[in-house]
Structure 1
Amino acid sequence: METFGDKLYRRVIVAKNNLFLQGEIAQLTYQSFHRYVQLINETEETEIEITYPIGYSPDNTPIHTTVNYSKEHLIDRYQFLGLNQLPINGLYQLVTTIEALLGDILRNTLVEFPVKISNKRKLDFELVLEAKSLDEIKTALVNSIINELSYKSPKDFAEEFTKYVGINLLEKPTFHKYIELKATRDIYIHNQGVANEIYLSKADSFARVKSGQYLPVDIQYFLQSYECCLQITEILEDTLNKIWPSLEYNKNKTQNLEVQKSTAIEQAIERVELIENQEEPKLNKKRK
């Protein structure tokens, strides 16, 4: 029989699986870029012609374009992709995974224990009248709390998380590293990678540059951030189990980490393939 602790543990495992997969994808992609640059350097051609699709026509046939690159220009492009765009895009995935995990833990806790919600909490009158059941009202109330917290700073969110879930993330140095990571993600979305006072305020003592300076994101920073996010999932696994014991967590705790990682990656890939196969008729995709 599934306990509430098991339910939360499974959600943490899904996040950890996604992190493992993201780490592997980043490493394999970087190695692919590196190997292709080697092949370009080895060729005697001064120009390299590359054809790739840039879109699809109404009948789902690909629209191709062909570009002639000099060796130097093409190498610059791949180095930019491997050393700059790859870690930045990977960063987005890391933050999204942890944001979703924390939000889901909070949502599940409030749904399971609605008494944690203050009786002073207000809800739209029309929503109450239109609700068909008490569960719908409860879900709407929980969603309103989650939506409100999504606009708060990471520190304010963590304080609310402590109040509702009982885990003080701000006590963990790893979480403060995550706050800096999230602030870095926000800077790349809203300010083209240039740090400002908002970044300094969020990152606090973990700020990596001064206001007005470019905020570097490279492979090393991505890997450090990847490890930080994995540590957060491990903290959540352990602390959630202390509040709501999980038989599954205690059973798997002694399992070798490498076995966990390998299994997690395979499960994540299977989920992606399942989704793609379900969409195959619509997208007209071909698989091996």
Structure 2
Amino acid sequence: MLVDKLKQYKEKVLTEFREAMEFKAFTDLAYLFAKKFAGLPENNRRLVLGHSQYASEVGMIDQEVNINDLPSHFDNAKKNYFFSLIHQQQVALFEHLFFDFIKILILDRPERLSKKKQIDYGAIFEVSSKEELLTKLVDRELNEIKYKNVTEWFAYLNNLVGLPEFTKEELDKLAEAKACRDILVHNAGVANQIYILKSGDAARFDEGQKIDVSGDYTKDTWSLLVKILIKTIDPIIEKAEKNSG
């Protein structure tokens, strides 16, 4: 039943985003404890990073680190790597869950698929059932939508089921968050014209500047992503409950 699937999906959204934030919180705590440890008096332990164990073939050797230098190493790792990885993960999670949601809706009513698309005979012969063919067609259509911009994602979903109105600020911030993720993955974190174009009015960086997702940015983005998903799901659950009642 669609209502049950949507409610289970909503719980999945909350669970997966909660786990992502728990990872960030516990890792933050680990950084804090490590810095406290490094600051203990008479802490003269010798710390060696065993690079040779996994990268000797490229000439890397073990590195001895002064305990007193650990806080600066932690701060550098957190700002330049940890926040970046967190941001990439939570935006990827949003995309995965968003398009999974659309897939649930289309599989429930396959007539929602675009009737203008064509299918070749090879695709038909490759599957063993009608259900498998339908899933393949849905995946093909959604893969095409994924390469469009965020506004087009929501326009597509709105055409399927109707959505609550999202503010321009919400969609702009979402577009900027996705653009940041794309730049971190595909352009070594350096903003370019593609970032500026995708981010629109929410762009935070000029061309050539290094993307920064540290501080409260990841937390604020996490809140935005959860808010948008739940704001999308709840009205559709309510509509499905009315239709099944």
TM class by smaller structure = 0.7 to 0.9
Instruction: Specify the alignment match of 1:137 in structure 2.
Output: 133
2-side partners of 1:112 and 1:166: how far apart?
A: 16
Match of 1:80 among 65, 76, 92: 76
Which of 15, 19, 22 is residue 21 of structure 1 equivalent to? 19
Give the match's secondary structure for 1:42: coil
Number of the residue aligned with 2:94:
98
Query: 1 or 2 for the larger relative contact order (CA 8 Å, sep ≥6)?
Result: 1
Distance in structure 1 (CA, Å) of the matches to 2:26 and 2:230:
24
Q: How does 1:108-147 map onto structure 2 within 5 Å?
A: 108-147=104-143
Please point out which of 34, 37, 40 is paired with 2:38. 40
Q: Confirm or deny: 8 A CA contact 1:29 1:82 kept in the other structure.
A: no
Gaps of 5+ in 2: 55-60
* Alpha-carbon RMSD: 2.5
Alpha-carbon separation, structure 1, partners of 2:139 and 2:44: 58
Matching residue of 2:162: 166
TM-score, normalisation: structure 1: 0.73
Residue of structure 1 equivalent to 2:57: none
**Of the candidates 203, 217, 222, which is equivalent to residue 199 of structure 2?**
203
Structure 1: gaps spanning 5 or more residues? 57-64, 247-288
Q: State the alpha-carbon separation in 1 of the partners of residues 237 and 16 from structure 2.
A: 21
Distance 2:16 2:200 in 1: 28
Deviates most, 85-94 or 168-177: 168-177
- Return the structure number with greater strand share: 1
Deviations 1:50-72 (A, max 9, x none): 4669879xxxxxxxx96420235
Give the deviation of 1:153 after TM superposition. Answer: 2.1
- Quote the offset at 1:225 in angstroms: 0.8
- Residue 204 (structure 1) shift: 0.7
Percent identical among aligned pairs is 23
Query: What residue is the counterpart of 1:187 in the other structure?
Result: 183
Distance 1:147 1:244 in 2: 26
Please give the alpha-carbon distance, in whole angstroms, between the structure 2 residues aligned to 1:54 and 1:114. 55
Residue 228 (structure 2) pairs with residue 232 (structure 1): yes
1:4 corresponds in structure 2 to: 2
- TM-score normalised to structure 2 length: 0.85
- 1:245-264 correspondence to structure 2 within 5 Å: 245=241
Distance 1:90 1:169, change over 3 A: farther
Does the aligned pair in 1 maintain the 2:107–2:135 contact within 8 Å? yes
Q: Distance in 1 between matches of 2:6 and 2:95?
A: 15
Matched, 1:244 2:225: no
CA contact (8 A) 1:15 1:97 kept: no
Counterpart CA distance in 1 for 2:189 and 2:26 is 25
Mapped to 2, the partners of 1:226 and 1:156 lie a distance apart of: 21
Equivalent position SS for 2:216 = helix
**How far apart are the structure 2 equivalents of 1:30 and 1:193?**
22
**Partner secondary structure for residue 209 of structure 2:** coil
Q: In 2, distance between residues paired with 1:122 and 1:236?
A: 30
Cα distance in 2 between the residues matched to 1:234 and 1:191:
31
1: CA distance between counterparts of 2:109 and 2:222?
A: 32
Checking the alignment, whether the CA contact within 8 Å between 1:195 and 1:213 is kept in structure 2 is yes
Shift of 1:242: 3.1
Distance in 1, matches of 2:82 and 2:128, equals 47
Partner secondary structure for residue 68 of structure 1: strand
